[in-house]
Every structure is written in structure tokens, then in C-alpha cells.
Amino acid sequence: MRRTSMKWAAVVLAAGAAVSACGTVQMGAAALTVSQRISSATLSNEVANLTAAYQADQHKGVKPQRPTSQEPQQVLTWLLLFQVYDKIAQQHRISVTPAQVQDQLNGLGAQAKQSGLTTAQYASAAGAVPPDLLPELGRYFAILGALQTGLDGGKAPTSTTGQQALQAKVVNAQCVAAKSIDINVNPQFGVWDYSTYSVVPVPPSLAAAPTPSPSSSPVRTTPPC
């Protein structure tokens, strides 16, 4: 059964670690974790895919809902979130099947259809997800849904208090997972922010050359868990 976690509001629910501008990142890497190296070339290719999707969307009258000047941060956020959720699956003994992944994609497709969009158009315009990463996105949502089911005993809370309590548990699980994979972002692309759970430009306090933060809230570079 699909969960309300499929809504794009849940996309921002993730946690990770970050490094300052003085952190150590291998040459040619956009980001490093304990298990994977995301190369700058990989990031560039995915950014190109997202940019092409944006252009195709706009040609059809579909306006991206995220800043089109921040594609590298948007895409790198997803590449890191997928690793965070793989770790969550490992830590919480979650196993998702191809059918469950497809079920989540079908749910996205249903939401997209309500707006007159394809699944790929919806994912790129609403979530800044390159079309070729749709399978990974489906897995992300499947793991998130399974995590919620495990945390709430299979009965989704209906009260605001219950929903907030569940969200806090999910965020903590994400924080623990992200902390354990030790995310290091190349300052060229930004820093992992625990306040927004995304890659953001390096804030002035960490950058050699001050770069204004797009967020009004302070960037949090240390895990709260």
C-alpha cells in the first residue's frame, strides 16, 4: 500500500553529514561517502540530464518548481540521499522488491496525471530529479514507506501530534544513517546542510570567498543525532 510519503513534501526529509571548505575530498570527486565516490563527471552528466529535462518541460509549458540555477546542488542532493536510504534499509533490515519500487512509481505517475504530466515531467519539474534516476527515486520512496510502516507499527497516525512524532522518528533514522556513511561534499559544489537536508552553497563562515546562502536559516554542518 502506498503511503503519503510519496508527496513531494516528504522529499526534503533526509539527513546527512557535511564538511567545511577545508575538508578533504579526492580530486575529481563531487562527494565522498564511506562506500561510494560520486565523481564530478557523474554529477555533470546527471546535471546535463536534468537541464535537458527542464528545457523539454518548459517547451511544453511546464515550469520547474526549483531554482534552475542550482542544478548541481539539486542533483548531488539526490545522489547522496539515495545512499542515505540504502543505509537506512541496511540498518532497519528493510528489503524492497522491484514490484514495490514500481508501485511507488505508479503512485507518482498517478499524481503526475492529475497535473497532466508524465512521471518524468513531474519528477523533474517538481522534484529536480533527472529522468534516468526514476528507478532510484522509486526505491527511495519504497524504503521511506517501509521505514514509516516499521516505526508506526503499520498504522499511519491520523492526529497532528502523531504525525509529528512519526516524522521526528524518520528524521532521526535518516540522521543516524547519513552520519554513518560520513558524507563529504566538495566545496566547489557546496556543503551538506542538516537544516534543509540538502546540498547548499558553502556559507560565508566556511568559504574562502564568501558565497551568499540561498536559505535564510543558518546552515547546519554537524549532525543533530
Residue 208 — very low, low, confident or very high, per pLDDT cuts 50/70/90? very low
DSSP 96: -
Neighbours of 77 (CB within 10 A): 27
Exposure of 108 by Cβ count < 10 A (0-12 exposed, 13-18 middle, 19+ buried)?
A: buried
Query: pTM value?
Result: 0.81
Secondary structure in 3-state letters for 97-158: CHHHHHHHHHHHHHHHHHCCCCHHHHHHHHHCCCHHHHHHHHHHHHHHHHHHHHHCCCCCCC
DSSP 181: H
Residue boundaries of the structural domains of the chain: 4-200
Question: Which tens digits make up the pLDDT trace of 23-45?
Answer: 455 678 999 899 899 999 999 99
Pairwise CA distance, residues 4 & 55, whole Å = 30
User: Percent of the chain at pLDDT above 90?
Assistant: 55
Pairwise CA distance, residues 82 & 102, whole Å = 16
Q: Is the pLDDT of residue 210 over 50?
A: no
Neighbours of 45 (CB within 10 A): 13
Nearest CA to 131 out of 117, 145, 146 is that of: 117
DSSP 176: H
The arithmetic mean of pLDDT across residues 193-212, rounded, is 68
Q: pLDDT value at position 20?
A: 31
Q: Is the pLDDT of residue 108 over 60?
A: yes
100 with 158: CB under 8 angstroms? no
User: Percent of the chain at pLDDT above 70?
Assistant: 82
